[in-house]
Structure 1
Amino acid sequence: MKAPFPPIAPWFVAACLQCVVLLLPGGGSHAETPATEPEFSLHGFASQGYSNSTANNFNSSGQSGGSFDFREAVVNGRWRFAEHTSVAAQALYRAAPVSVDDGVRLDYAFLDHAFTGTLGATGGVLLGRFKNPYGFFNETRDVPFTRSGIILPQSMYTERGRPFTMSSQGILVYADLYQPWGTLGFKGSYGKPVRGGAPLEYILFSRDLPGEFEPDRAATAQLRYDGPEYGRGWSAALSYQQYAYDFSQPRSLGVDDFHFDFHTMAASLQYDSGERWKVLGEVARGKAFDGAIRLGGYLQANYRLRPDVEVFARGDLMILDERDRWGKKYAQSGRCPDYCRYAKDFSVGLNWDIRPDLQLRLEWHHVNGTAWLSGAENDLRDSTERWNLGLAQLSWRF
């Protein structure tokens, strides 16, 4: 039996209604397209990563001499074929064993119609496949130049779950209200998630099973505030994400039906000095199909040593079951040690912009626990509790 759709938070309903009010046409006016915006633009990037760990595997990091099994390449384009309407698409190539996500895929492809309303608001509607608005980084996490590190905090943006949590297909509405005190933005979407495939099977069952996870429904919402000065001051966001799948061959699991449903709320906060430093943190709480409450959060500080060099330090915590935080009860089942149910990660990193189009990143993680490791790469019953991970990445964009 399918789990009922979770109740929508009151702030989500209020934000949707406010969106409608703000975007009622103001004298029939539309958003003015800047004269400098090209009718067609093409961009992309390519990156090569290296990983080496003292134990366990993260993109094959545990093999002798480390691993170069982390490559990304993207080409995206946008065509504005009418004054307020455009289409955009992105093709992504990725080789990343941790997410079972090798090969080329259509990352997003949508039709975007923008307009203005009353009270200084702008907004629009997207139709197609789009990135889910979740936290500060989900919509841009594929672009190395926009990430806060080689890998994002795994408590919020797990690599193993990346293929099916990043995007949805359907309709997304967005609106921004510009005021002297800052910008208030809203995004909300409804549709279907992308196919779950092997990544979801490895998360749930640590193996690839006969059958597939068929998309059922996806819903997202985000309310965000940014201060009046771009790149300076406070930013904050509340995010909601829900996605659900049906398994096409439940008999292989010994049941008549199997429905996966996960929904999560996240709160994000950042202060940027605008020059040297910034501090940011995010926390999330979600409920999975089995009733387990997932918890996660991180705190990170960045400091710019000079205009082209930035360093950061981060503490990150991931817990897979709030009622069994340190996995003691789970370990009694014999499925894996207690430390496969949590991960405490302390990391430091350096980002060097060699040129505007070329970037080098270095990163080191000390991890206690294996909750964000993938069963596609590891036998979690035979994993190591405390381990170190070193990462490097060179990225070029055009």
Structure 2
Amino acid sequence: MRKQFKYIIIIVLSFGILFSFQTAFAGNVDIHGFVSQGYLRSSDNNFLNDSNKGSFEFNEMGINFGYDTGSDVTVGAQLFARDLGDFGNDKVSVAWAFGDYKWKSWMGFRAGMMKFALGLYNTTRDIDSLRTTIILPQSVYNEWYRDVSQGTKGAQIYGHLSLGYAGLLDYTLQVSGTQVPIDSGTAKFFLDRNSTVTTLDAIDVDTTYGAALIWYTPLDGLLLGVSGFSTNAKYTVNNSTAVIDNPDFRESILSVEYTLNRLTLASECMYTTSRNNVYLLSNPSIILVDDERIQNTNYYFSGAYRFTDWFEGGLYYSKSEAFYNGTGPDNELKDICLSTRFDISPAMVFKLETHFMKGLFGVDPGTDGTRDDKWNLYAAKVSYTF
């Protein structure tokens, strides 16, 4: 508890510093932030935190600022802290910090620590007030991979291309490097899905190349997107005695979103491929798995409707499958989610959510040490933005 208060104090002090900075450069600095507190409880199993007995270890807070130099250059940064079960623990970190030079409307440049342009919602997932749901569909927006898909260091080229009567095209080209700590959510998820791995000693990820295209079609409210990246990943495991090598790791996402008045429909499909090589570190010539091709396809369908100015309802179906080929409940997770959102004020949002789950992929045993492949997850969350 003391540690959590310490981090909150740091964020408050940071806000004070940035407020002073804004006063000194009045009119050129934008300061925004958010605080959210959630609660998870599941009928069986543990998911994301100790949800089987109910847990408040589900919160986020952040403060960001942007400075307009008065030319075509802007700079910005965000401090961010979150708690999700054993991870985050309200530790303050730099979520993003970059400089942006907008040369032309059709070409700009960014460099620094940035969010990876991937899918429809990866770059905005920190801001809870922008969506109906509490938990994004895990088939595409896996919560454990969040520390990898956000805060990558590198450079981007981006732009907006007018296609005349054919609409508008947004593009992003990016190259980045990612450091993955062995105590991260990504590491936990890797250990959970690899039963033969006893320890994870190091994760090495090569330079990542990515691209994203969003086409705002001539049909008002309809956008289509494609995004993806390519890299190589290597995992040193089992007390540094073996290496799991995933060369040519590629991920592609097809996206569609349609908004008509108060109705929003969306769907995304993620296709991942790689090759799997396992060899002994002491003697790389001893190959345990030789060039095994691995792949999976995850997807979701969602809909949301704004009934009144203060109430919105949402529904999605999400299907995730294990990266390694296999069948049965251990290798998939199906999720039917019902969401309700209440706008208490322009700055405060309260949400309630129920998930009807089938499957055990990414699911931990409950308090009794067992797992049930048919279970429910209940979530509540309140968020404040400024």
TM-score, structure 2 length as denominator?
0.81
Q: For 1:233 and 1:252, how far apart are their aligned partners in 2?
A: 53
8 Å CA contact 1:125, 1:174 repeated in 2:
yes
| Aligned partner letter, 1:364 | T
| Aligned partner letter, 1:220 | G
Does structure 1 residue 49 correspond to structure 2 residue 34? no
Q: For 2:140 and 2:355, how far apart are their aligned partners in 1?
A: 16
Residue number in structure 2 paired with 1:86: 74
Q: Deviations over 1:71-113 (max 9, x none)?
A: 1000111111240011111111000127x33322211111110
Q: For 1:253 and 1:212, how far apart are their aligned partners in 2?
A: 8
Does structure 1 residue 318 correspond to structure 2 residue 320? yes
* Offset of residue 322 of structure 1: 7.7
Does structure 1 residue 222 correspond to structure 2 residue 224? no
**Helix, strand or coil at the partner of 1:202:** helix
Residue number in structure 1 paired with 2:330: 340
Instruction: Specify every segment of 5 or more residues in structure 2 that has no aligned partner in the other structure, as ranges.
Output: 1-25, 277-292
**Helix, strand or coil at the partner of 1:163:** helix
8 Å CA contact 1:217, 1:245 repeated in 2:
no
* Offset of residue 133 of structure 1: 0.7
* Offset of residue 352 of structure 1: 1.4
Q: For 1:218 and 1:298, how far apart are their aligned partners in 2?
A: 25
- Percent identical among aligned pairs is 23
Q: For 2:144 and 2:275, how far apart are their aligned partners in 1?
A: 18
Does structure 1 residue 367 correspond to structure 2 residue 330? no
Q: For 2:62 and 2:206, how far apart are their aligned partners in 1?
A: 28
Q: Deviations over 1:128-172 (max 9, x none)?
A: 111111110001111101234111000000012211123321111
Residue number in structure 2 paired with 1:277: 263
TM-score, structure 1 length as denominator?
0.78
8 Å CA contact 1:70, 1:95 repeated in 2:
yes
Does structure 1 residue 236 correspond to structure 2 residue 224? yes
Q: For 1:251 and 1:304, how far apart are their aligned partners in 2?
A: 51
**Helix, strand or coil at the partner of 2:117:** coil
| Aligned partner letter, 2:228 | Y
Does structure 1 residue 114 correspond to structure 2 residue 114? no
Does structure 1 residue 62 correspond to structure 2 residue 51? yes
Does structure 1 residue 293 correspond to structure 2 residue 309? no
Residue number in structure 2 paired with 1:306: 308
Q: How does 1:1-398 map to 2 (within 5 A)?
A: 38-64=27-53, 66-97=54-85, 100-102=87-89, 103-116=91-104, 121-178=105-162, 179-198=164-183, 199-206=185-192, 209=199, 211-227=201-217, 232-247=220-235, 250=237, 252-255=239-242, 257-261=243-247, 262-273=249-260, 275-290=261-276, 291-321=293-323, 323-324=325-326, 327=327, 338-373=328-363, 382-398=370-386
* Offset of residue 309 of structure 1: 1.3
Instruction: Specify every segment of 5 or more residues in structure 1 that has no aligned partner in the other structure, as ranges.
Output: 1-36, 328-337
Q: Deviations over 1:260-318 (max 9, x none)?
A: 45321110011110x22121111011024533212100111111111221101111111
Aligned residues: 337
| Aligned partner letter, 2:49 | S
